[in-house]
Amino acid sequence: MNGILAIALISVRNAIRSKIVMVLLAFLLITLIGLPLTLQGDGTLPGHVRVLIRYTLGLATLILSIATVWASCAAISTEIRDRQIQLVVSKPVRASQIWLGKWLGLMAINVLFLMLCFVSTYAALRGTTTPDRWSDTEIEQLHTEILVAQYKLAPQPRDVREEVQRQYRAARARGEWPEEIPTQEVLPRIERALRTQANSVPAGSSNRWVFNVPHPPPDDRPLILRYRFSLSVMDLDPVSGSWTIGSLQASHRQVETFEQPPRTWHSVAISPDRIEDDGTLTVEFANHADRTVTVIFQPDEGLHLMVYAGGFLMNYFRAGLLILFHLSFLAAVGVTAGAYFSIPVAAMTSFYALLLINAARFIGRIAEGTASGGHGHAHGPHGGWFQDAIHLTSHLVHRGLYAVIRPLESANPLDYLVVGEWIPWTEVGYMFGVKVVLYSGILMVLGAWHMARKEVALPS
């Protein structure tokens, strides 16, 4: 343990002495001080807070990520280059201890700077949302919609399975889909169309959704209906409509009329007494547009209910933990790459690995695409065994790659914060397990295994 701590301390000193890391950290300070003073947002208080959190913490996280990758790549490779590693390796220290010491040192720096980022952003948040600058209504809206932790509920899905089958049979009978297009490609398309239709409201009509609210918010805190819609025409003019919330009995109904533009988020605060005894909440949207325009709520993300679950600070802390776990993974990638390669090669390798991880969904889609192509279901003519072999290889490579990087996929924690969405502890625990324990652990084994076999005193 003594040895690990000694190496961690050296790792901290090395990182602090790196000019590139220092330049990046200077950018970090400029970001933390300069951005809160210059950001304007959309003129509303929620807009200001969203921009402040997303830009300040987003940029700070990006800078910390780059600094972490660089410093971690340099952690072992510079010592190999400058040969100090020879004195360390000749001491009774295992390769895993060297790896762990380097990683812990970098993590100590990350914890320090991440705390600085989060504390200063929070201070800026408090300092720029004072009653002398914003109205009481806006401040109240901020504290009910953004500076809280709310869990997100989607409306009950409509069962469209029978309708999908019916439309499929009808479409086949009409010959709308050529025979060579397989059923498994046609059915999802029909289902998507039906779901979009179920979330659409033509002019002059209305549509209804039902939410199950298992745990009503405490202390009569309001529920927030968040929505974003698009239009059936290429138009950004506001649309007039109304929300009717609660049971159909007049005494329990809450009616909100509005005229709002499409493609932007809107919200309605709902009193918790609108929830029925069976835990359901019904909302109905009426399209009052005086022109032929259909309002479309995106089936997955266009409409949801936010229910209070806890305070903002703990959610903010959980977001910090998620970022820290990501940085710990980056540090592990860099330290391991630095054990194998010189700094430039290690840095390139690390950034390439991060690029792949960020492109996980794209790679997943390629894997799906090559699956159908590789098994001879392509729409075009067959290309023979050679093309099939290429398809199969591509499919296997992408599928294998996707299987490796998929567990690392995670939503940006700042996306949760800017909408006041609850970050579940399960997500925090999962990311700790995956990024810190599993993947960093695997990288440690790979790095230490290589270091134990590496000849650190080869003539240059």
Among the listed ranges 105-113, 209-217, 254-262, 448-456, the one in contact with other proteins (CB under 8 A) is 448-456
**455 touches other proteins (CB under 8 A):** yes
What does the alpha-carbon distance between residue 27 and residue 37 come to, in Å, rounded to a whole number?
Answer: 15
| Beta carbon of residue 412, minimum distance to other proteins (angstroms, whole number) | 37
- Contact flags string 334-373 toward other proteins, x per CB under 8 A: ----------------------------------------
Between the two ends of the chain, the Cα-to-Cα distance in Å is 32
CB of 230 to other proteins, least distance (A): 57
Binding residues for other proteins, total number by CB under 8 A: 28
CA distance 391 to 407: 25
**Cα(453)–Cα(451) distance, rounded to whole angstroms?**
5
90 or 232, CB closer to other proteins? 90
What would you measure as the largest C-alpha separation in the chain, in angstroms? 87
Using the minimum distance from each CB to other proteins, give the nearer residue, 146 or 339.
339
Both structure tokens of 236:
């950004």
Smallest distance from other proteins to CB 3, Å: 5
Distance between CA atoms of residues 271 and 362, nearest Å: 41
Shortest spacing between CB 88 and other proteins, in angstroms: 7
**All residues at 6 or more sequence positions from 364 whose CB lies less than 8 Å from its CB, including other chains:** 398, 402, 406
SS3 150: strand
Is residue 426 within 8 A of residue 56, CB to CB? The reply is: no
CA distances from 41 to 44, 51, 273, 291, 456 (A): 7, 6, 34, 32, 53
Q: How far is the CB of 87 from other proteins (least distance, A)?
A: 5
Select the span of 193-201, 220-228, 435-443, 452-460 touching other proteins (CB under 8 A): 452-460
* Measured distance CA(394)–CA(172) in Å, rounded: 33
Q: Measuring CA to CA, which residue among 396, 397, 408, 393 is closest to residue 353?
A: 408
The 3-class secondary structure across 79-139, one letter per residue, is HHHHCHHHHHHCCCCCHHHHHHHHHHHHHHHHHHHHHHHHHHHHHHHHHCCCCCCCCHHHH
Interface with other proteins by CB under 8 A: which range of 26-34, 158-166, 423-431, 450-458? 450-458
Distance (Å, rounded) from C-alpha 55 to C-alpha 20? 22
| Smallest distance from other proteins to CB 455, Å | 5
* Closest to other proteins by CB, 174 or 453: 453
Q: In DSSP terms, which residues pair with 229 in a beta bridge? A: 297
Cβ neighbours of residue 72 under 8 Å, at least 6 residues apart? 102, 103, 106, 330, 331, 332, 333, 334, 335, 337, 338, 350
Q: Which of residues 80-99 bind other proteins (CB under 8 A)?
A: 82-84, 86-94
Q: Which two tokens stand for residue 296?
A: 């479309």
Closer residue to other proteins in complex, CB, 16/210 = 16
Only segment of 21-29, 211-219, 284-292, 451-459 that touches other proteins (CB under 8 A): 451-459
- Asked if 457 touches other proteins (CB under 8 A), the answer is yes
Q: Which helix (H) or strand (E) holds 281?
A: strand 280-287
Q: What is the CA radius of gyration of the chain?
A: 27
Q: Indicate whether 458 belongs to the interface with other proteins (CB under 8 A).
A: yes
The 252-291 site mask, x for binding other proteins (CB under 8 A), equals: ----------------------------------------
With CA atoms as reference, report the closest residue to 309 among 417, 151, 429, 155: 151
2 vs 426 by CB, closer to other proteins: 2
What character string, x for contact with other proteins (CB under 8 A) and - otherwise, covers 14-33?
A: ---x----------------
CB of 420 to other proteins, least distance (A): 46
Rule CB under 8 A: say whether 456 interacts with other proteins.
Answer: yes
Tell me: does residue 13 bind other proteins (CB under 8 A). Answer: yes
CB of 349 to other proteins, least distance (A): 17
**Beta carbon of residue 328, minimum distance to other proteins (angstroms, whole number):** 24
For residues 219 and 455, which CB has a smaller minimum distance to other proteins in the complex? 455
Span interacting with other proteins, options 78-86, 192-200, 217-225, 228-236, rule CB under 8 A: 78-86
Shortest separation between residue 93's beta carbon and other proteins, angstroms? 5
- Of the pair 64, 104, the CB lying nearest other proteins is at 104
Exposure string for 273-285, b = 16+ CB within 10 A, e = fewer: ebbeeeeebbbbb
Specify the residue, 438 or 452, whose C-beta has the smaller distance to other proteins: 452
Binding piece for other proteins, criterion CB under 8 A, among 77-85, 130-138, 156-164, 298-306: 77-85
Contact positions toward other proteins, by CB under 8 A?
2-3, 5-7, 9-10, 13, 17, 82-84, 86-94, 452-453, 455-459
